[in-house]
């Protein structure tokens, strides 16, 4: 596969995953503000921005609705939903011949849907419906991707982008929540903090899944364990790392370049951290440092993917 094709498919997937993550966190933030006894709008907005990587130009202005609208529609801000959808669509356009007609139609429809004059009016009238429409569009795209595309190298690069973005975003969000929710004794959790835990699970679409494993008795330690170490839930970091490793192995098996030892070692190190560390060890040690290490290793894996699959020399390609 050409490096430019792999690059576009990878970033198409990352941009859509990033847009979905932003939508979910914004939706939860707006919903939690309905609780009059909770944190202030400014506090929640700052935490949302921290979870999104503290993007420039999105500082608190005092008007939550206008800030939410900007996070949705500002096509010049890399943090906005519109920017991410635009980026995904542009990358898809560059490899139009590599994706199915159904994929292109779904993504193109979402692109035009959020750019219509009616979109901003609908957002002002019902924010939740606007956010749900974006989620629906992204989910439809993912569904047709899995059912209309050959599961070869291109599809694996889509998976690779999705899982790496998801692992990094989830680790970032957990690191932001960690000082407030994961450093306290369970008996100290107030009603406000209970809602915060529910909100955290909703940000990862995991409330029902968590309840199936642990019942509805929310515990910050169990939530951290679930979102970090669960092998079977698609938004758990352990699951995404398994997906990253499987995608790299599948790219090689389908005729792609053999992954270098440096890349397999980086993925193996992250996998071993999650496979052989217990939640007790994480909570007894430096949970924030553990989460930060996951983020750093995700960035390292991204750099190595680029070095060996996108920005590689002819000599290295011939020797692979």
Task: Give the integer Cα–Cα distance in Å for 274 and 15.
Answer: 26
Q: Which residue has the higher pLDDT, 318 or 137?
A: 137
Average pLDDT over residues 162-187: 87
pLDDT at 170: 98
pLDDT tens for 147-171 read: 999 999 999 999 999 999 999 999 9
- The whole-chain average pLDDT of the chain stands at 90
Residue 201, pLDDT above cutoff 90? yes
Residue 190, pLDDT above cutoff 70? no
pLDDT at 313: 44
pLDDT tens for 39-64 read: 788 999 999 999 999 998 898 988 88
Average pLDDT over residues 175-181: 88
pLDDT at 257: 64
**Greatest mean pLDDT among 46-55, 176-185, 191-200:** 46-55
pLDDT tens for 259-281 read: 778 999 999 999 999 999 999 99
Residue 300, pLDDT above cutoff 70? yes
Average pLDDT over residues 283-293: 94
Average pLDDT over residues 69-84: 94
With cut-offs at 50, 70 and 90, classify the pLDDT of residue 317: very low
With cut-offs at 50, 70 and 90, classify the pLDDT of residue 186: low
By percentage, how much of the chain surpasses pLDDT 70? 93
Domain boundaries, the chain: 1-149, 152-320
pLDDT at 256: 60
Q: Maximum CA pair distance of the chain? A: 63
With cut-offs at 50, 70 and 90, classify the pLDDT of residue 309: confident
Residue 187, pLDDT above cutoff 80? no
pLDDT at 318: 38
Q: What angle do CA 138, 141, 147 make, to 5 degrees?
A: 145
pLDDT tens for 204-239 read: 999 999 999 998 888 899 999 999 999 999 999 999
| Token pair listed for 195 | 């809602």
């Amino acid at each position: 596969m050409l490096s430019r094709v792999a690059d576009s498919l990878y970033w198409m997937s990352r941009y859509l995953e990033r847009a979905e993550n932003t939508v979910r966190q914004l939706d939860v933030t707006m919903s939690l503000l309905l609780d009059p006894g909770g944190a202030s709008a400014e506090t929640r907005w700052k935490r949302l921005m921290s979870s999104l990587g503290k993007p420039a130009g999105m500082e608190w202005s005092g008007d939550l609705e206008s800030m939410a609208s900007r996070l949705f529609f500002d096509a010049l801000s890399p943090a906005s939903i519109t920017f991410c959808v635009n980026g995904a669509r542009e990358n898809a356009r560059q490899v139009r011949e590599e994706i199915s007609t159904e994929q292109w139609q779904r993504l193109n429809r979402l692109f035009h849907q959020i750019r219509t004059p009616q979109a901003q009016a609908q957002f002002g009238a019902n924010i939740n419906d606007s956010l749900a429409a974006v989620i629906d569009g992204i989910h439809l795209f993912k569904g047709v991707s899995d059912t209309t595309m050959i599961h070869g190298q291109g599809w694996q690069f889509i998976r690779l982008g999705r899982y790496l973005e998801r692992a990094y975003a989830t680790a970032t969000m957990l690191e932001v929540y960690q000082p407030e929710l994961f450093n306290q004794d369970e008996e100290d959790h107030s009603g406000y903090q209970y809602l915060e835990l529910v909100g955290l699970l909703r940000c990862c679409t995991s409330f029902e899944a968590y309840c199936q494993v642990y019942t509805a008795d929310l515990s910050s330690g169990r939530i951290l364990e679930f979102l970090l170490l669960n092998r079977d839930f698609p938004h758990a970091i352990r699951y995404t790392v398994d997906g990253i490793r499987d995608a790299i192995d599948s790219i090689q098996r389908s005729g792609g370049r053999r992954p270098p030892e440096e890349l397999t070692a980086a993925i193996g190190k992250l996998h071993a951290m999650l496979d052989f560390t217990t939640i007790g060890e994480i909570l007894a040690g430096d949970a924030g440092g553990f989460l930060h290490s996951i983020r750093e290793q995700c960035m390292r894996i991204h750099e190595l993917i680029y070095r060996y699959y996108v920005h590689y020399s002819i000599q290295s390609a011939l020797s692979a």
